[in-house]
Amino acid sequence: MTGKDQVLPLPTKNKAVADFLSARRSNLVKLMDGPGPDAGQLAEMLETAARVPDHRKLAPWRFVTFEGQARADFGHHIASAFMKANPEMPQDRALFEGQRFMRAPNVVAVISSPVKCVRGTPEWEQVLSAGAVCYNLLLAAQSRGFAAQWLTEWYAYDKRVQAALGLKGGENIAGFIYIGRVKERPTERARPNISLIKSTWTG
Ligand SMILES: Cc1cc2nc3c(=O)[nH]c(=O)nc-3n(C[C@H](O)[C@H](O)[C@H](O)COP(=O)(O)O)c2cc1C
């Protein structure tokens, strides 16, 4: 964390960053491979991810990381939750669900963990900050040459999966950030026409 009195650089023109942000795309997990970041690289990414606007410095979010065997172990919870919610489904569907976290070498669950404070930062703002953490983690990974995608799929909203992840009351899964290597370059995705969503206040 930066010291309170440390003087930071002024914004400067940085074409590489501007170009990166203008052309950035997520990397779909199905087009992802290994190896993932090492422990030091992942730690740096999480530091970057946590460097987001956060009204009143509440840090209303936390991370749970998965790699190696832990991905398969957590997959048992995902598969079991799926089969309990969908008992009519064939058993091979459990195998599929259990493999979700195996699609990338690293998965980071970003948990939105709003702090209750009377006349404090509205919960909405704390949740927005968690979204910013997810996006910043994508940028942190991609700017270091890794592939990354933000997914929730069904299991982010499943109570059994949330319990297995240790969610406390009021917490939600903002996203699972899958991180790996690019197996195939992404193609462009349709983008909004800004003129349709922008208006200029004229009074
Ligand atoms: C909160 C959130 C949850 C998402 N969950 C999923 C998901 O479950 N499945 C999926 O295919 N895409 C999901 N996406 C979309 C992708 O991560 C990504 O936005 C999309 O592929 C295009 O991303 P890009 O504009 O960065 O290229 C989600 C996006 C957000 C913001």
Whole-number pLDDT of residue 198: 98
Give me the architecture of the 26-66+104-186 domain, per CATH: 3-Layer(aba) Sandwich (3.40)
Q: Which residues pair with 154 in a beta bridge?
A: none
Please give the number of the atom of ligand 1 that sits closest to the Cα of 191. 25
32 has pLDDT over 60 = yes
Q: What is the pLDDT of residue 2?
A: 59
Nearest CA-CA partner of 30 in 114, 145, 135, 153: 153
Over residues 106-133, mean pLDDT: 95
Instruction: Find out whether 176 and 109 touch, Cβ atoms under 8 Å.
Output: yes
Bond prior to 35 in cis (omega within 30° of 0): yes
Q: Which residue's CA is minimally distant from atom 4 of ligand 1?
A: 151
Distance from the alpha carbon of residue 12 to the mean position of ligand 1, in angstroms: 30
**Contact, 75 vs 101, CB < 8 A?**
yes
- Report whether 109 contacts 173 (CB < 8 A): yes
Domain locations along the chain: 26-66+104-186
Give the per-residue pLDDT at 3: 77
Chain segment 134-184, per-residue pLDDT in tens: 999 999 999 999 999 999 999 999 999 999 999 999 999 999 999 999 999
- The reported pTM is 0.96
